[in-house]
Amino acid sequence: MQASRGRLFMKIALINAPWESKSFFQSIPWLPIGIVYVGTVLEQNGFQVQVLDAAAKRWSHGQVVTWLKQVSPDVVGLSALTLPFLSLVDLVRAIKAWNPRVIIVLGHYFATMEADRIIRKHGDFVDFCVRGEGENTFLALCQWLDRHPGKEPDGIHGITYRSTTGRVISTPDAPLIVDLDTIPFPNRSLVDHAYKWAIGGFVLPRTRFTTMISSRGCPFKCTYCACSRFARQRWRPRSPENIVAELAIVAEQGYTDVNFVDDNFTLRKDRVLETCRRIKQEGIDINWHVDGRVDHAWADMFAAMHGAGCRLIWLGFESTSQRVLDIYDKKTRVDMFDRAIRNVRRAGIEIIVGLFMVGAPTETLDEIRHTIEYAVRSDIDLPVLNILDVYSGIQLWDDAIARGWMRDDDIVDVEVGGTMRKAERWETLTKLVDVSKTPSERAEIHRLVAEARRTLFSLRRMNALVHGAMRVLRSPYLRGIAADVVSRLPSTIKTLASFRD
């Protein structure tokens, strides 16, 4: 990925498209680090790059097209995820209506998992899908398009497109980037948006927030997750030196909070400890937040993390039924849960977000009730409880089809932009309970989850709330959060009300 110092090439626009989602948590934007990495590589190789986070700005499709008219790009690259895919198709149609000659390229998870069907069904508007990691593949594609206008790509791995004869072409997969230290640090100035850190929907206005990634991929095969297929079940870390060098730059740029968006930040204890040692050695003063697993919950590691600035950890519990955890192929045990929570608390990490989901294949109502009860009663600051979604690219999707519960080409009703429309099932998410449970079971599951969400800040969680209040008194970080929340009382009331929706 060496920078080219030649002429400026064609113009590239990269867009994180509007989600048009009613989910409150999805309405709180994070820096789309993936397209910023891609934009940085393109920029360093001579291309004129503009990046738009239309989701963060809450722009309409019309506003995105107006922006594109001002930028006048030759190529538009867009992130494609499952939930907002149908809305993305509408945006792509609007872009092509404005300029049929602009080249549309989709990337990210959904464009990787469903590249062939995307091109078959939407190839009149989508010109290419980039499969897998985008830095090298999208750069190679743009270089080809710049040097060979009008000609089909030759020798580029990891792309899917429609040939001039109408045939769908999928080239061999591109190799994974093994040495992540070779990727340039993302140029965050490419994105014009002031991101704020938020916890459980409470936006903290005095923060300046960004995202980082210290590793890619995952060695596990959880049946509800697409990461193992996307990254071919390989975990690739950045070196502690490389991580800390970027973190130092981020701190110098005035950011107060960083969320590491790794799937497995805590996978290797020695790497975490060395990273923390270097953060302290360099005197970097910044709050950072990570995801973790309950089987990677070493007390000394958590203590080192807290000492280096870690303030929040997301822990994936999923279910309190060992049978369900085994269905998820999670490779964790229920008896690890309490120990993980205790070790985080003893280390002093201020906030635990616990991730739970219900609605697994064959999961009983009693198992669901037990999981919900644990989520509500345990010493977790914010339990996040969801009903399981399945989508193309995960094992549970394949299993549901194999069981005869659904077909990937089923015609389903989907809400897009406030209106209902017909779509094929592969183009959207499916609540597994909608195809695997009886109507009465589905209704009871939805009732249980809604009731649990209403109790998050109620007397039912009094013990956890009292413990949380004591931690606020001891922690300057939490006291600052409390001051922010209290100072924005109308917004706070609105957020609390959202938990009852």
Q: How far apart are CA 142 and CA 13, in angstroms?
A: 12
Residue 494: pLDDT above 80? Answer: no
Residue 3: pLDDT above 50? Answer: no
Query: 432 falls in which pLDDT band (50, 70, 90)?
Result: very high
Q: How far apart are CA 11 and CA 77, in angstroms?
A: 11
| Mean pLDDT, residues 380-400 | 96
Task: Specify the range with the lowest mean pLDDT, choosing from 163-172, 195-204, 224-233, 406-415.
Answer: 195-204
Residue 27: pLDDT above 80? Answer: no
Query: What φ, ψ does residue 8 adopt, rounded to 5°?
Result: -75, 130
Give pLDDT, residue 462.
Answer: 74
Residue 379: pLDDT above 50? Answer: yes
Query: 173 falls in which pLDDT band (50, 70, 90)?
Result: very high
Mean pLDDT of the chain: 92
Give pLDDT, residue 26.
Answer: 52
| Mean pLDDT, residues 263-278 | 96
| Mean pLDDT, residues 268-278 | 98
Query: 396 falls in which pLDDT band (50, 70, 90)?
Result: very high
Nearest CA-CA partner of 28 in 244, 190, 211:
211
Which residues have CB under 8 Å from 338's CB, separation 6+? 378
Q: Tell me which amino acid residue 306 is.
A: H
Give pLDDT, residue 500.
Answer: 52
| Mean pLDDT, residues 394-407 | 98
* 250 CB-contact burial (10 Å; exposed 0-12 / middle 13-18 / buried 19+): buried
| Mean pLDDT, residues 334-342 | 98
The model's pLDDT over 470-493, given as tens digits with 9 standing for 90+, comes to: 888 788 888 888 887 777 666 655
Which residues have CB under 8 Å from 379's CB, separation 6+? 341, 345, 352, 463, 464, 467
Which residues have CB under 8 Å from 476's CB, separation 6+? none
The model's pLDDT over 146-168, given as tens digits with 9 standing for 90+, comes to: 999 989 999 999 999 999 999 99
Which residues have CB under 8 Å from 252's CB, separation 6+? none
Domains and CATH numbers, the chain: 11-170 (3.40.50.280), 203-492 (3.80.30.20)
Contact 436, 109 (CB under 8 A): no
Percent of the chain, pLDDT > 90?
Answer: 83
DSSP 322-358: HHHHHHTT----GGGHHHHHHHHHHHT--EEEEEEEE
Residue 170: pLDDT above 60? Answer: yes
Query: 20 falls in which pLDDT band (50, 70, 90)?
Result: low
